Chains A and B, each alone.
Chain A
Amino acid sequence: MRYHCWFGPQHDWDFAERAIKAGLDGFELFGWLRQFPEEEAREYREKAKRLKAELNAGLTVHAPFMDINLGSINSRIRQVCLEEVRDALEFAREVGASAVAVHTAPGIMGMTEGSWVREHPRPSSGLLAQRELAVRAVQDLADFAPDLLLCLENLIYPHELYRSPEEMRELVRRVDRSNVGITLDVGHAAVCGYNPRDFVQLLSDEILHVHLHDNHGSADEHLPPGKGTIDYVGVIQSLKQLDYQGVITFEFELENPEDYAAYLY
């Protein structure tokens, strides 16, 4: 198992050096460069490229997720979403990242098609169309970047799709690409009422990436492990038992990179 922490535009080189010295194996980068002012994005790209060369750091990238719906039934929005994630894949390639975390289809469609609608007897044609479009979009992205692992993340809130272990398995099976697997987000699993260990059991072959953070079971707080109520040690143990070889990204922020050392298991 290897451990990464966030490295965003707000972090400086000193932070990166200290984090590696503290025992981390690498970093998870923000794949939404277009959201930053141009100058900031340029600097971030340059710094990110040095991480591997100079610190021998492993890298993962988080694709943009805010308002992204890869299965949107609005063709204009879907197109933009695909471009956004494609940009993140190119960035991942440029910096030499191994895996990219992707949120498939949360969202606004979620507005009408989340659990509220599932309480409704018939799934709408929009929902069925979105499911198809999402699968196709992920296939396109996987074929666009056969050299990268695309890791679809289990999502969180009742209006989102793809939250349960079963839904995630179904999605990955339907996508059916060897470079597509799952990012197990431990915090998300807990917020939507699943035991993260059930994910590990059911999806042991599909989990290629892990996001680790804590919460109190109702909001996606992204707290350091131990500050919430998640049995994170149990999750780590399950992963170890299954000989998980991928990256665990600490998705919580600590001011001093040295403090991440306390969370290495």
Chain B
Amino acid sequence: MKYHGWFKPQHDLEYARRALKAGLDGFEIIGGQSHYDPVEFKRYRENIKRIQEELPASFTLHAPITDINLGSINRRIRQASIDDVKAALEFALEIGASAVAVHASPGILAMPGGRWSQDTESPAVQDELIHQEQLLLEALRELAGFAPEIPICLENLVYPHELYRSPREMRELLEKVGCPNVQATLDVGHAVVSGWDPVRFVHDNFETIRHVHLHDNHGFVDEHLPLGQGTIDYLHVIKALQQHGYEGVITFEFYPESPERFADYLRQFS
């Protein structure tokens, strides 16, 4: 198992050095060019390049998520979403990331497509849902073909308006996509907020899990707290992953009080 932490635009090289010294193996990069001010993004890329050149770090990358719906039934939004994720995949290739975390289809369609509309009998809404999933599958296959060398790891999502939250939904989605480089990111915090036991997730879906996001919460809000500050039994999750011989990356998706704190978590896991 390898451990990564966030490296975001607000972090500097000194932070990276200290995190690696505390035992991290590398960093998860936030690949959302359209979210950043161009000057900020340029500096961010330069920092990442320096890490590549000067420090012994591996990378994973998080594709942009906010307002992205790869299955949007709005053609222009869908295209913009695909373009945004493609830009992230190019960035991942450039930095040699071993996995890219992607949110499949949250979103607004999720508005009529989430739990609420599953409660409604409206055939029109059901048609829309099926339509969105078809579009999503096409989009994911397009992305998989665009970067066949990168594992695209779809993340289990969080809130009731989102699709793809349960172990079964995730398994079925991946089966339908049917591309070898489209796999899963297990997000431990999301699993808990959406009411699924992350340990179950590991046991039921292990063969698809190529990437893990680890952070804490109190079971209701996706708080992204440092481990131990919420109520998640994260040690059991780690143990389950160890039992299965997980060899991928676990990304700590929270801001530690200081990069040195990573050493404490790593000690707990060994």
* Chain A contacts to B: CB under 8 angstroms: 32, 34-35, 64-69, 72-81, 83-84, 106-112, 114, 116-117, 119-120, 126, 156-160, 218-222
**Chain B residue contacts of A157, Cβ below 8 A:** 111, 114, 116, 161
Let me know if B220 is at the binding interface, CB within 8 A: yes
Scan B145-189; emit 1 where CB is below 8 A from any A CB, else 0: 000000000000011111000000000000000000000000000
Residues of B within 8 A of A219 (CB): 116-117, 119-120
Bound together, the chains give a CA A218 to CA B80 distance in angstroms of 32
Closest A-chain residue to B120, C-beta based? A219
Contact with A along B71-82 (1 / 0, CB 8 A): 011111101110
Contact check, B77 vs A81: say whether CB atoms are below 8 A apart.
yes
| A75 neighbours in B (Cβ, 8 Å) | 34-35
Whether A112 pairs with B222 at a CB distance below 8 angstroms is yes
With a 10 A CB-CB cut-off, give which of B65, B111, B161, B220 has the most chain A CB atoms: B111
Q: Which residues of A have CB within 8 Å of B114?
A: 157
A77/B34 contact (C-beta < 8 A), A66-B73, A67-B72, A84-B76 known: yes
Give complex CA distance A263, B145 in Å. Answer: 53
Contact A108 B35 (CB under 8 A): no
Residues of B within 8 Å of A77, CB to CB, are 34, 66-68, 77, 80-81, 84
Q: Is the CB of A108 within 8 A of B220?
A: no
Contacts of A72 in B (CB 8 A): 66-67
B74 touching A67 by the CB < 8 A rule?
yes
Interface residues of B (CB under 8 A from A): 32, 34-35, 64-69, 72-77, 79-81, 83-84, 106-112, 114, 116-117, 119-120, 122, 158-162, 220-223
Whether B66 contacts A112 by the Cβ 8 Å rule is: yes
Kindly list chain B residues whose C-beta atoms are within 8 Å of the C-beta of A78.
67
Q: Which residues of B contact A69 (CB under 8 A)?
A: 67, 108
Cβ B221 vs Cβ A116 within 8 A: yes
A211 vs B105: C-alpha distance when bound (angstroms): 29
A108 to B107 alpha-carbon distance, docked (Å): 4
Is the pair A108, B222 in contact by a Cβ cutoff of 8 Å?
no
Would A126 and B66 count as touching, CB distance under 8 A? Answer: yes
In the complex, are the beta carbons of A34 and B76 less than 8 A apart? yes
Chain A residues contacting B69 (CB-CB under 8 Å) are 67, 108
A111-B159, A116-B220 as given contacts; A80 in contact with B76, CB under 8 Å: yes
Contacts of B222 in A (CB 8 A): 112, 116
Query: Closest 6 interchain pairs by CB?
Result: A76-B34, A108-B107, A72-B67, A108-B67, A67-B72, A107-B108
Min CB gap A79→B, angstroms: 8
Contact of A67 (CB < 8 Å), options: B64, B108, B223: B108
Apart from A74-B67, A109-B66, A120-B223, list 5 A-B contacts with CB within 8 A: A66-B72, A73-B67, A108-B66, A108-B68, A111-B162
B112 and chain A: residue at smallest CB distance: A220
Min CB distance B195 to A, Å, is 14
Q: How far is the CB of A194 from chain B (nearest CB, A)?
A: 17
**Contact A74:B68 (CB < 8 A) given known A116-B222, A219-B117:** yes
CB contacts (< 8 Å) of A126 on chain B: these are 66
- A73→B107 contact, CB < 8 A: no
Say whether B66 contacts A76, CB under 8 Å. Answer: no
Q: Which residues of chain A are within 8 angstroms of B74 by Cβ–Cβ distance?
A: 32, 35, 64, 66-68, 84
Write the chain B residue with the least CB distance to A71.
Answer: B67
A74 in contact with B34 given A66-B74, A220-B116 (CB within 8 Å) = yes
Q: Are B73 and A35 in contact (CB under 8 A)?
A: yes
B residues less than 8 Å from A83 (CB atoms): 76
Given contacts A74-B68, A77-B68, A84-B76, A108 and B110 within 8 Å (CB-CB): yes
Q: How far does the Cβ of B258 sit from chain A's closest Cβ, in whole Å?
A: 21
Q: Which residues of B contact A108 (CB under 8 A)?
A: 65-69, 106-108, 110
> Shortest distance in angstroms between A234's beta carbon and chain B's nearest beta carbon?
24
B108 in complex: contacting residue of A35, A73, A110, A221, CB < 8 Å: A110
A107 B220 Cβ-Cβ under 8 A: no
Q: Which residues in A have their C-beta under 8 angstroms from that of B67?
A: 67, 69, 72-74, 77-78, 107-109
CA distance A92 to B112 in the complex (A): 25
Q: Which A residues are CB-close (under 8 A) to B158?
A: 111
Q: Nearest Cβ distance between residue A171 and chain B, in whole angstroms?
A: 18
| Closest chain A CB from B162 CB (angstroms) | 7
Contact B73 A111, beta carbon cutoff 8 Å: no
Given contacts A32-B74, A67-B77, A220-B116, contact A117 B161 (CB under 8 A): no
Given contacts A69-B67, A74-B32, is CB(A221)–CB(B122) below 8 Å?
A: yes
Q: How far is the CA of A117 from the CA of B193 in the complex (A)?
A: 13
